[in-house]
Structure 1
């Protein structure tokens, strides 16, 4: 019997208004478009995306079950405020899972991928210079997930996405407080390690990049 590839293991997602809304909102949460404490109403989501209330309600409730949003009362849905301890745990889990999935992705990352990552890193650096927080958050998310998606993991990727749903809004809040400036450019170390074909250095740089977020809490 032929082995079953990763793509055939992936769950089928029907193309409906609610699944499209869920994907759009999930991306915005991961990229830090929302801040902790933001209230997200069914009516505002439906109006923004031009849908009826039903798919907006389904998409928001789906995000609640994933821990990305919470019910603040019977009528309000909001982005949760993570405690320092919980955010630290999110980063600790990210370091473990993302280092492993990066190791799995390493052999699949070719020259075209390196060029994409270098272009994203250049965009991130420009965003830092211009104090453009939204562009920085978007670029950082896309840089990391370009790597992780090359792993083809159907187990670890959904777990990492769930962590980023919690990470994005809180990291936006931290960057608003401290700025998006960084002391070490681990993204550059990541791409340089890829060009050298050094898997261990590549994984160390991924882990160090995540650890840098932990240091903002100390």
Structure 2
């Protein structure tokens, strides 16, 4: 699993920071659902660490708003209201389109080949109704592009939005079904990149995020 984030260049390589990065990626990928209880002991056991790094990583996620205390003893993945989730998607559309525009000139033919490979895996996950496979591939596809922007300002903000987006999108896709995702905007992204068409590329990124908004409207 790719656990690289924009924070890597600025964080010490300790057990707690490595665990924090791994948990951040899992949350962005939809490994957790709203309402899930996060256990320090269980996280420590899963990653083979002591309780201290797990506690520090989880507290960091609480500070970032990715997790919340439901009472003095329980840490959970928060539920986003419909209105707040819509705001997250609106912010994603604006910021990720700009990050993509900044990334455009840094994307190579090797990057395009990798994006096509990831998109093939996403298509296979959708055909198999593999929700987690779809969400993991979707995260890898988008952030393969966004990291090429080398933005120290916008990229961390985009990552924070995905921390809020991932668990709620997991819930929505569970209700709606990964196999019903109809439009392959990722293919439009790679085709625009191959043509060198920056406007079509940015439009496809925005349309892909719009699809998330359409999914939201399917859930009562």
Partner of 1:66: 64
Change (3 A) 1:65 1:140: same
Given the alignment of the two structures, is residue 216 of structure 1 paired with residue 215 of structure 2, yes or no? yes
How far is 1:49 from its partner?
1.0
Partner of 2:132: 134
Give the Cα separation in 2 of the matches to 1:165 and 1:10.
16
TM-score (norm 2): 0.93
Partner of 2:24: 26
Could you tell me whether the CA contact under 8 Å between 1:10 and 1:154 is conserved in 2? no
How far is 1:74 from its partner?
0.6
How far is 1:115 from its partner?
0.4
How far is 1:169 from its partner?
0.6
Which ranges in structure 2 are unaligned for 5 or more consecutive residues? 1-6
Partner of 1:87: 85
Give the Cα separation in 2 of the matches to 1:95 and 1:161.
13
Deviations 1:118-175 (A, max 9, x none): 1111100000000011110110000000000000001011000000001111111111
How far is 1:110 from its partner?
1.2
Partner of 1:15: 13
Partner of 1:186: 185
How far is 1:11 from its partner?
5.5
Give the Cα separation in 1 of the matches to 2:174 and 2:31.
12
Give the Cα separation in 1 of the matches to 2:10 and 2:143.
20
User: How many residue pairs are counted as aligned between the two chains?
Assistant: 210
Give the Cα separation in 1 of the matches to 2:185 and 2:173.
17
Partner of 2:206: 207
Partner of 2:144: 146
Give the Cα separation in 2 of the matches to 1:50 and 1:119.
32
Give the Cα separation in 2 of the matches to 1:12 and 1:91.
27
Change (3 A) 1:74 1:120: same
How far is 1:10 from its partner?
7.9
Q: CA RMSD in A?
A: 1.2
Partner of 1:46: 44
How far is 1:12 from its partner?
2.1
Give the Cα separation in 2 of the matches to 1:201 and 1:144.
16
Q: Larger C-alpha radius of gyration, 1 or 2?
A: 1
TM-score (norm 1): 0.94
- Structure 1 runs of 4+ aligned residues shifted over 3 Å read none
Which ranges in structure 1 are unaligned for 5 or more consecutive residues? 1-8
Match of residue 102, structure 2, among 101, 104, 108:
104
